[in-house]
């Protein structure tokens, strides 16, 4: 734990570089907890909170709550990947990542990262790429409705086109 008045730890250079590259190559990008960015991405939520940790805005939901955003796919023909920047210090929480109504993951963080930021990648199933309208995808973080149901604190999201790998 940091003492009062101490400076927040910066993410390791590899994490910062990975996120900077994702931000540059993204089809769409959102800063969670930032009012302007959320309004531009049709934020919706229930039992959801936002705040600032170490100079970064975040969003989370608790006990059956959720928050969601619409991201622009720009009609990409390649498969899509969602990159999520989480607060890595969160204890294991119970929630699901839902894309256009389809559950794609039950993320968990190990709370043992060397920095306060963790980047996780989630493949967007082709079947889930349609449903929010042409060129749009709805990303939803849904907290379980239990005593320990809560999403991880999300700092940002980036939607990227996945480059095919050579065989």
At residue 8, the pLDDT reads: 36
CA–CA distance, 101 with 91 (Å, rounded to integer): 26
The enclosing H or E element of 14 equals helix 13-25
CA–CA distance, 90 with 93 (Å, rounded to integer): 8
The enclosing H or E element of 15 equals helix 13-25
pTM here? Answer: 0.82
Is residue 16 within 8 A of residue 45, CB to CB? The reply is no
> Residue 8: how many CB atoms within 10 A of its CB?
12
Is residue 158 within 8 A of residue 82, CB to CB? The reply is yes
Sequential pLDDT tens for the chain (167 residues) = 333 333 333 444 466 777 777 777 889 999 999 999 999 999 999 999 999 988 889 999 999 999 999 999 988 888 899 999 888 776 678 899 999 999 998 887 665 555 677 888 899 887 666 656 678 899 999 999 988 788 989 999 999 988 755 54
CA–CA distance, 142 with 130 (Å, rounded to integer): 19
> What value does the CA radius of gyration of the chain take, rounded to a whole number of Å?
16
At residue 10, the pLDDT reads: 43
């Amino acid at each position: 734990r940091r003492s009062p008045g101490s400076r927040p730890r910066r993410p390791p250079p590899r994490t910062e570089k990975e996120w900077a590259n994702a931000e540059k190559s993204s089809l769409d990008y959102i800063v969670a907890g930032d009012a302007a960015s959320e309004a531009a991405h049709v934020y919706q939520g229930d039992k959801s909170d936002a705040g600032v940790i170490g100079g970064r805005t975040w969003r989370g939901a608790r006990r059956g709550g959720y928050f969601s955003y619409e991201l622009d796919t720009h009609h990409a023909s390649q498969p899509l990947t969602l990159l999520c920047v989480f607060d890595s210090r969160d204890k294991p929480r119970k929630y699901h990542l839902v894309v256009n109504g389809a559950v794609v993951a039950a993320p968990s963080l190990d709370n043992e990262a060397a920095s306060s930021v963790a980047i996780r990648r989630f493949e967007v199933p082709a079947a889930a790429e349609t449903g929010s309208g042409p060129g749009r995808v709805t990303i939803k973080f849904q907290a379980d409705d239990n005593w320990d149901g809560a999403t991880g604190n999300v700092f940002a999201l980036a939607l990227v086109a996945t480059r095919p790998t050579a065989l």
